[in-house]
């Protein structure tokens, strides 16, 4: 893994798209293979991920409001190793008279496995996708965090003792004016 932060644009496709067409999916080059696996899982489950957030600057991170969880000063978003998403199945939900978007409320573990979710035709596809992510030893689903963030996927670059040094090097490379401070929450 390269110690330098190398931002690339992950080009959307049929299974992973920016939530708004004006947005770009920005990631670190070393997260690209993870995105390809996430795309494979989405294709297998016949779901579309709408990426609401990817790589962020510190200024963007600090300015965030109305988020599912408070932004972390050690977020993998800061080094391009995380995405936030909603899930779209493309299935017309007759009981709602519309297409349904699976967001943080429905993707929350308490909701996703609740009886109410079974009323949605696409729920089984979404649960299967989440199970793929949970089973992937290189990825982390935010729905399993102590404070649930079910619209988040990362590679645990900061919290994994084997890759923490790489996170700090990428962080320092991206933000040389304010290098990593070990007093940050670990």
Which CATH number goes with the domain that contains 118? 3.30.1380
Alpha carbons 172 and 29: distance in angstroms, whole number: 16
Q: Looking at residue 99, what is its pLDDT?
A: 67
Q: Looking at residue 37, what is its pLDDT?
A: 97
Q: Looking at residue 118, what is its pLDDT?
A: 63
Alpha carbons 150 and 103: distance in angstroms, whole number: 8
| Rounded average pLDDT per 10-residue block, the chain, 186 residues | 90 88 89 97 95 94 88 93 93 63 82 69 88 97 93 94 92 93 67
Contact 29, 51 (CB under 8 A): no
The β-bridge partners of 16 are 49
In a domain, 88, yes or no: yes
In a domain, 149, yes or no: yes
In a domain, 179, yes or no: no
In a domain, 167, yes or no: yes
> Containing domain of residue 169, as a range?
7-174
Q: Looking at residue 185, what is its pLDDT?
A: 55
Into how many domains does the chain fold? 1
If DSSP codes are grouped into helix, strand and coil, which group holds residue 129?
helix
Alpha carbons 64 and 53: distance in angstroms, whole number: 11
DSSP structure class, residue 118: G
H or E element, residue 7: strand 7-9
Q: Choose among 53, 56, 51, 55: nearest CA to 18.
A: 51
In a domain, 22, yes or no: yes
Angle at CA 147, nearest 5°, toward 20 and 162? 90
In a domain, 1, yes or no: no
- Give how far the C-alpha of residue 41 lies from the chain's centroid of Cα atoms, to the nearest Å: 14
In a domain, 184, yes or no: no
The β-bridge partners of 141 are 153
* Radius of gyration of the CA atoms of the chain, in A: 17
Q: φ, ψ for residue 126 (rounded to 5)?
A: -65, -45
Helix 123-135 crosses helix 32-45 at what angle (to 10 degrees)? 150
Q: Looking at residue 111, what is its pLDDT?
A: 78
Q: Looking at residue 92, what is its pLDDT?
A: 64
Q: Looking at residue 91, what is its pLDDT?
A: 72
């Amino acid at each position: 893994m390269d110690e330098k932060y190398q931002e690339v644009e992950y080009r959307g496709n049929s299974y992973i798209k920016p939530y708004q067409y004006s947005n770009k999916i920005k990631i670190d080059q070393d997260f690209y293979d993870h995105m390809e696996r996430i795309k494979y899982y989405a294709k297998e489950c016949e779901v579309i991920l709408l990426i609401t957030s990817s790589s962020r600057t510190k200024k963007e991170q600090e300015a965030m409001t109305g988020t599912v969880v408070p932004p972390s000063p050690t977020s993998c978003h800061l080094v391009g190793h995380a995405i936030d998403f909603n899930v779209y199945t493309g299935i017309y939900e007759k009981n709602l008279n519309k297409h349904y978007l699976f967001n943080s409320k429905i993707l929350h573990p308490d909701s996703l496995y609740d009886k109410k979710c079974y009323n949605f035709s696409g729920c089984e596809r979404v649960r299967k996708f989440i199970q793929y992510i949970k089973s992937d030893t290189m990825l982390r689903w935010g729905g399993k965090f102590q404070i649930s963030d079910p619209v988040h996927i990362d590679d645990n670059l900061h919290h994994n003792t084997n890759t923490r040094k790489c996170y700090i090097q990428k962080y320092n490379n991206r933000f040389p004016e304010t290098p990593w401070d070990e007093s940050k929450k670990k």
